[in-house]
Each structure stands twice: as C-alpha cells, then as structure tokens.
C-alpha cells in the first residue's frame, strides 16, 4: 500500500539500483563534502599544509583523538554520552607513564587499558544497572578523573623510564604511515566490524533507537549497555597510552577538552545524540574535519586562544548544519500515510 513503490522491484537492473544506492548514500554524506572543500581550502591557503612533515603531524594528532572518537561513537549510538573521555585519557596517560616507573611500554599499555577499563566499568555500571543519566555520571567521572590526574602528577609532566622506547613507537612509520595511525585504523576497523557485522552491534543500534522494543525483544539491554561503556573505556585507555607514545611523557593536561572534540566529531559525522543513528565512517570523517581545521589554524598562526574559540564556533556551526540537513532529510523521507 504505502511503500510498494519505494522498494526496488526484481525487474530493475541490478547495476542501476546499485548506482542509485550509491547516489543516495552520497546525498547523505554532507560531512564528506565539507571535508573535501576543507582540504582544498587548506591546500590553497597554506603551502605548508601538504608537506610531508605536516601530514605526518596531522595524522599523529588525529590518531589519538580518532581512537577516543570510536569510544564516544559507540556510547552515543546507545543514546548515551560520555564527557569523561578526556579526563579518563589523562588519567590513563599519567598512570601508565608513572606506575612502576614506566619501565616497560607493554606493562604501561596494560595499565592504561586497566585504568580506562575500570572507568568504563564504573560509568557503565552506574548507567545501565543503576539507571542514572549518562551525562551526570560522566560529568562526575570527568571531575574525579581529572582531579586524580592533578593529584598524581602534582602538575608536573611525568616522564616514564622507558621514555625513549615510548617515543620510538610514536615516531616509527610503516610505509610512511605512523604506527599510531595504524593503531587508529585498526580500531576503526574493529569497531566498524563489531557494529556492522555482529549481533552485539545490532543490539547497540536497537538499544539506542528504541530501548523498550529492544528489551521487549529479549535483548539483554543492561549487559549490552555495560559492555559498550567498558569497550569505550578500553579504547580511551588505549588513547592514553598512545598519548604517552606520542609525546614521550604525560602532562596533567593530557586529554583536556578532548570530550568536546570527540562528541563534536561524532555529531558532525551524522550520529544522532538521541541514539540509534550514526556510522563509523561518519565519525572518522568528523574526526578528520576537526583536526584539519585545527591544523590549518596553527599553520596560519592563529593564536592558541583564538583557536579554541574557532573550534567552539565550528562545533556550533557543524551541529546547526547537521540539524538543517536532518530536518530536510526528514521532510523528504516517506512517512506513514495512515496509522
């Protein structure tokens, strides 16, 4: 009745429907267009942008936040939000650099994962089993973790014993691509696989879109939610370790305001903060957009403070753009003709 016309009929040429599907997909990718335009502007406005050093630098910068964005994405998909990712990353960074004197990078990795995992465990438990609002839970965690960072580091950058090994990992490249970037790409692929190909991923989307229906359909909602926060925590912990690799030490300000960038990247990538909608691809594009702009601003010698203001403004513009786009898409999408 209402939708017969929307479904492609068997007789349609398969190639044509694939092309249509590709076109449809492109129409939704406004973030991708922004990115392309942005890259062109960047290349034209600053000759330094396309140099090898700058690109490597940009990739390194992206990789850490990129991993955190993956954590934020899965949490946002469930309809939650995690504003503690920056602090959690900071805590993971200082502890993995400082505990046991930081003599081994691999032990440090375990420490970082444990710290992130525990934070995710606590956040997730409070959200899923105690039914608290993700916003307020992670707001508390934000203050708690950052406080611990200051208390542990006493404001002084912590340099691990094996600082050189850390830095070496941060500087190593494979075929010109930094190892940290490869880690980011691996995480992106893993999260994409989990979300798109597994039962768990399907459940994450179902919970974000309609928790009641998910519960009613026999999905273990609370356990799934918890696992999402734990996985998010692990990713953030990994981000903390990558931070130490990149800079050779952990500062008290490690990961400061990163939650801002992570949430913004997810939203620019088209995810709905109400949950249930959003893709890994979009989030990655969002990450790149954000970092390219930051990079461009430093290349153009914009003052640090103004850069912050710029980034804030960018979030507002991007989010507004997203709503415009969303509203238009909604009015175009077929609606139930009758109840």
Site residues (vs another protein, CB under 8 A) = 1-8, 197-200, 202, 205-206, 208-210, 212-220, 276-277, 332-339
* Contact assessment for residue 270 and residue 282, using Cβ atoms and an 8 Å cutoff: yes
The least distance separating another protein from the CB of residue 102, rounded to whole angstroms, comes to: 36
Least spacing, CB of residue 67 vs another protein, in Å? 22
The pair of structure tokens assigned to 286 is: 């969002």
CB 94 within 8 A of CB 250: yes
**Three-state SS across 324-339?**
HHHHHHHHHCCCCCCC
Q: Name which of 6 and 301 has its Cβ closer to another protein.
A: 6
* Least distance from another protein to the Cβ atom of residue 337, Å: 4
Residue 177's DSSP bridge partners are 174
Return the closest-CA partner of residue 141 out of 197, 195, 87. Answer: 87
**Minimum CB distance to another protein, residue 118 (Å):** 24
Give the dihedral of Cα atoms 230, 232, 238, 244; nearest 10 deg: -120
What distance in Å separates the CA atoms of residue 63 and residue 75, rounded to the nearest whole number? Answer: 19
Q: Which is nearer to another protein, 21 or 143 (CB)?
A: 21
**3 or 304: CB nearest another protein:** 3
Name the residue nearer to another protein (CB basis): 244 or 266: 266
The nearest distance, CB 221 to another protein, in angstroms, is: 9
Q: Could you please report the per-residue DSSP string of 170-188?
A: HH-EETTEEHHHHHHHHHH
**Smallest gap from residue 20 Cβ to another protein (A):** 12
Rounded to a whole number of angstroms, the minimum distance from the CB of residue 272 to another protein is: 8
* C-beta of residue 111 within 8 angstroms of C-beta of residue 103: no
Q: Report the residue number, 169 or 207, with the smaller CB distance to another protein.
A: 207
Nearest to 293 by CA among 35, 53, 85, 64: 35
- Decide whether 3 or 53 has the Cβ nearer to another protein: 3
Strand-pair partners of 158: 250
Decide whether 59 or 219 has the Cβ nearer to another protein: 219
Residue 69 in contact with residue 278, Cβ under 8 Å?
Answer: no
């Amino acid at each position: 009745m209402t939708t017969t016309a929307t479904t492609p009929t068997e007789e349609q040429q398969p190639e044509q429907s694939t092309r249509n599907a590709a076109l449809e997909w492109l129409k939704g990718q406004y973030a991708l267009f922004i990115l392309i335009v942005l890259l062109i502007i960047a290349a034209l406005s600053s000759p330094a942008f396309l140099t090898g050093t700058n690109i490597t630098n940009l990739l390194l910068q992206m990789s850490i936040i990129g991993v955190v964005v993956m954590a934020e994405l899965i949490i946002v998909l469930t309809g939650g939000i995690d504003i503690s990712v920056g602090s959690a990353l900071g805590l993971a960074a200082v502890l993995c650099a400082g505990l046991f004197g930081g003599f081994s990078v691999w032990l440090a990795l375990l420490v970082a994962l444990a710290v992130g995992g525990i934070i995710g465990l606590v956040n997730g438990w409070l959200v899923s089993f105690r039914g608290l609002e993700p916003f307020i839970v992670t707001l508390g965690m934000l203050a708690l973790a950052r406080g611990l960072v200051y208390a542990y580091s006493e404001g002084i950058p912590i340099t691990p014993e094996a600082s050189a090994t850390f830095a070496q990992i941060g500087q190593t490249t494979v075929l010109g691509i930094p190892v940290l970037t490869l880690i980011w790409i691996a995480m992106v692929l893993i999260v994409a696989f989990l979300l798109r190909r597994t039962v768990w991923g399907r459940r994450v989307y179902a919970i974000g879109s309609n928790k009641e229906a998910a519960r009613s359909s026999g999905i273990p909602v609370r356990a799934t939610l918890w696992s999402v926060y734990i996985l998010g925590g692990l990713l953030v912990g990994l981000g903390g370790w990558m931070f130490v690799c990149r800079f050779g030490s952990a500062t008290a300000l490690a990961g400061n305001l990163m939650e801002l960038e992570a949430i913004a990247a997810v939203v620019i990538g088209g995810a709905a903060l109400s949950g249930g909608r959003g893709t890994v691809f979009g989030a990655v594009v969002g990450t790149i957009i954000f970092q390219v702009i930051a990079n461009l601003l430093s290349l153009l010698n914009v003052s640090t403070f103004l850069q912050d203001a710029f980034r804030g403004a960018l979030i507002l513009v991007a989010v507004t753009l997203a709503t415009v786009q969303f509203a238009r898409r909604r009015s175009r999408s077929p609606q139930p003709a009758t109840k």
